[in-house]
Amino acid sequence: MVTVTLAPGKEKRVNAGHPWVYRSEIARIEGELPPGALAAVSDHRGKFLGQALVNLRSQIAGRLLSRVEESVDAAFIERRIREALARAGRSVAGPGACRLVFGEGDQMPGLIADRYGDLVVIQILTAGMERLKDDVLGALQRAVGPRAIYERSDVSVRKLEGLEFRTGFAWGSGETGVWIREGDLAFFVEAAAGQKTGFFLDQRENRQAVKRLARGRDVLDCFCYSGGFSISAGAGGASSVLGVDISTEALSWAERSTAQNGLGECCRFVSANAFDHLRALGRERRRFGMVILDPPAFTKGREALAGALRGYNEINLRAMKLLDRGGILVTCSCSYHVDAATFLDMLRSAAADARREFRLLDLRTQAADHPILLAAKETQYLKCAILEATN
């Protein structure tokens, strides 16, 4: 096996449990190393640290797959996937939906696998996992037993790995638009055209929190996508729900789910830029008992963090001004470059600018089927703060 040797002192993060090796940390490579190949990783003294999928085209050159010397074959991949399926929040049967494999969080770096009823949707993010794709597909077929496996490998990180985008059925065939159940609610998911793999599974537990808090409130849901939070609020007894999203296609899915759940009189949706709509509602002096903000990641890199924080500050400031006294703000960030402390500091600044005071009722994160590695803060990307206006 090819050996990748780290420079002196660069083994500390790996020894602490982090699964990444940066290209700048590599001192030398012994042997030929095509993109995505498996290699042994050692410290500068030659001590074995683990086996990694290595791609020198990427800044994250190595992603540890195992910390022991073992065969990485079809049996290894199936064992890892079955271990992932046994973790919290996951099921291989029924009409529900869940994340089956969450990359580094499940020791399968570069692989995302989600289940929507009898359809599995995968994303292959790295050259290393691309090499293991056939074994992954076989393992998912045996362990999950889906009708089909659809691939959504159309995310920008593939470009950093030297990979082209790819979408379509990786195995099987049939419809990509499916109905799933989340508790007592039904949602329509379009796996081929939707955001991520079709639905925001990471917000499942936060949708339940909204459902518990929504009763009797007029709710504004910005960046509502296909209506997950809106419909949960309506089902929780909201007096009214207004969902706002720029995508008319996503709103058509929201309206289908709204009708399916018998919430047509409660929930309505408008296609608009959320920034502009928040400004317009402010000019109209509208007031709401709950405002939900679940925007896309405003930054994909640390170099754009300042601009992202300005964007978060603006939408939160405007949302805070729209709240009744005692109103609830549910506000999210899905960028791991904005950590929880930075996110809370931004909210404090926005509240001061809005001349509003808030209690922090809860600071939540992603659903349990998106496991977090203690040593890799990058695996904890979602922040969901629930605030109550006190004035």
Give residue-wise pLDDT tens across range 209-218.
Answer: 999 999 999 9
For residue 169, what are the β-bridge partners?
150
The active-site residue, picked from 224, 267, 334, 384, is 334
Q: What is the mean pLDDT of residues 45-52?
A: 98
Query: Domain ranges in the chain?
Result: 2-66, 74-178, 200-389
Q: Which contacts of 189-196 are long-range, i.e. CB under 8 A and separated by 24 or more positions? A: 189/97, 189/116, 189/226, 189/253, 190/226, 190/253, 191/116, 191/119, 191/121, 191/150, 191/152, 192/150, 192/152, 192/167, 193/249, 194/226, 194/250, 194/253, 195/225, 195/250, 195/296, 196/152
Token readout for 380 is 């904890």
**Residue-wise pLDDT tens digits, 113-168:** 999 999 999 999 999 999 999 999 999 999 999 999 999 999 999 999 999 999 99
Q: What pLDDT is attached to residue 300? A: 67
d(Cα 60, Cα 46) in Å, to the nearest integer? 21
The answer to whether residue 224 is catalytic is no
Cα 132 to Cα 72, 159, 171, 184, 334, distances in angstroms: 9, 18, 15, 37, 28
Q: What pLDDT is attached to residue 6? A: 98
Mean pLDDT across the chain, nearest whole number?
97
Q: What is the mean pLDDT of residues 49-71?
A: 97
- Domain covering 74-178, topology: Transcription Regulator spoIIAA (3.30.750)
d(Cα 330, Cα 385) in Å, to the nearest integer? 6
Q: What pLDDT is attached to residue 242? A: 98
For residue 3, what are the β-bridge partners?
30, 40
- CATH no., domain 2-66: 2.30.130.10
Q: What pLDDT is attached to residue 302? A: 73
- CATH no., domain 200-389: 3.40.50.150
d(Cα 157, Cα 163) in Å, to the nearest integer? 9
